[in-house]
Amino acid sequence: MTRILIIDDSSFQRRIVTGILKEAGYEFSVAENGRDGLELAQNDAPALIITDLLMPEFDGYYLLREARARDLGVPILVLTSDIQDTTRDQCFRMGAAGVVNKPVKKEVLLPVITRILSGERT
């Protein structure tokens, strides 16, 4: 079964995303910050990382940089409330496989996950 790592400091957002993933049949693990998430990513080898952009400790930008520097080889999907094109473009330049705006909706998130897991960039 496909395992997805969710990294978000908001318990509300984690509940939304894990509920969507559980309903779709995915396995998942969660981290409340980028520091713990990066450790889990290195130890658990998830098929996909879904991360918030703005978090304490290590934010999503740092996570994108470190994933590339450490050659994790795991696609990263960024969730953000920031709707600016510059933020989206920056995430893609830093290696994000996709960017989805919050609030997260099942009908948006699941197709993006499917495309990323099939090797497409969204």
Structural domain spans, the chain: 3-117
Q: What is the pTM of this model?
A: 0.94
Kindly report, residue by residue over 37-89, the tens digit of the pLDDT. Answer: 999 999 988 999 999 999 988 899 999 999 999 998 999 999 998 888 999 99
Q: How far is CA 8 from CA 33, 49, 59, 62, 119, in A?
A: 6, 11, 9, 14, 24
Which superfamily, per CATH, for 3-117? Response regulator (3.40.50.2300)
Whether 81 and 37 have beta carbons less than 8 Å apart is answered as no
Give the Cα separation of 24 and 12 in Å (integer).
Answer: 19
| Cβ atoms within 10 Å of 116's Cβ, excluding its own | 20
